[in-house]
Structure 1
Amino acid sequence: MEIFEIGQIVRLKSGGPKMTVKKADGQDGETPIWACQWFDRNGKLHADSFPEDMLDIFVTKTYGSFDS
């Protein structure tokens, strides 16, 4: 079962920059591998592939609504 979708924003479980899922990139045994892209602080594009177990979906925190 693939838990990520193309274009989804993810982050390594250990931290680091937000990355965009580019494509499924095969499997390492039973673990799917995902190709991701991200920009560094200088705007340089990087790409690498990571096992699914190393990635988390990036979720922005919301602090409620100011509407009454």
Structure 2
Amino acid sequence: MAKKPKFAVGTIVKLKSGGPDMTVREPLIHYTSEEFLGSYSCQWFAGKKSEVDKFPEDSLELVKPEAKGA
């Protein structure tokens, strides 16, 4: 059975090893089989510069939203 992406487009994630919060741009899909490849294209800002790179799902974790009005 094909693996399904754990994170949806727009989900805020970060590397388990640390680093900036990133937004999932897209799960990477094989162009012919259309199966999830186990990695994501993510985007973040380094100062004012937009950065994009690919990361394996196992290296990412969900960023939990902060409680507002605390």
In structure 1, the residue matched to 2:15 is: 12
Which of 24, 35, 42 is the aligned partner of 2:41?
35
Give the total of aligned pairs.
60
Percent identity of paired positions between Structure 1 and Structure 2: 41
Indicate yes or no: 2:51 matched with 1:46.
Answer: yes
The answer for the alignment partner of 1:57 in structure 2 is 62
Larger Rg: 1
Q: Post-superposition shift, 1:45?
A: 0.3
Whole-angstrom CA distance in 1 between matches of 2:63 and 2:10: 12
Q: Output the aligned Cα RMSD.
A: 1.8
User: Deviation per CA, 1:42-67, whole angstroms, max 9, x where unpaired?
Assistant: 210000000000000101344xx87x
Query: What amino acid is aligned across from residue 58 of structure 1 in structure 2?
Result: V
- TM-score, with structure 2 as normaliser: 0.75
Which 4+ runs in 1 deviate beyond 4 A? Answer: none
TM-score (norm. length: structure 1): 0.77
